A = this chain, B = another copy of it.
Amino acid sequence: MTDPQLTHLRADGSAHMVDVSAKPVTARRAVAQAVLVTRPEVVAAVLTGELPKGEAVGTARIAGIMAAKQTSTLIPLCHPLPITKVAVDITGADDRLTVLATVATNGVTGVEMEALTAATVAALTLYDMIKAVDKLAEITGVKVLEKQGGKSGDWVRS
């Protein structure tokens, strides 16, 4: 079996932002997830953010949407992309809050990193709001769930 080659490293091992000049612009989309594990009563307190008296969920959603636009600023070797859509959905059940981020672009590279960044920053924002009531909270399950467009085509995590 061949060793995996990291495309972000050149032959001499140095990092670079790979040349995507010749890649075609196509419609791309990715969905990613992050899960915040806490206690059931904390989940309940956060979800009142969907009721008249709470903005916790909306605050995390906006943080995720804004973070998607900062992806190429945060991740050193990411290309800047003209993002055309971001949606962040947050649901809760039992002891966990699940963040789903969907990002689309018409671009030369995929938007998995944008979706992962949106989901992660939304989860960190939820963490920030609950850390005073649960210092044992943990973010887990940060992963890409599906992706469309580009050379590798459509893909759904099985």
Binding site for B on A (CB under 8 A): 1, 3-10, 12-21, 27, 34, 39, 41-42, 44-46, 48-59, 61-63, 65-70, 72-89, 104-106, 108, 112-113, 116-117, 120-121, 123-125, 127-144, 147, 155, 157
Contacts and interface: CB of A to CB of B under 8 A. Distances in A.
11 contacts: A7-B129, A14-B57, A14-B58, A16-B87, A21-B27, A63-B76, A66-B76, A112-B131, A123-B142, A135-B147, A136-B143
Contacts of A67: 74
A58 B15 contact: yes
A120 B125 CA distance: 13
In the A-B complex, the 5 residue pairs with the closest CB atoms: A13-B53, A139-B142, A4-B133, A19-B85, A13-B54
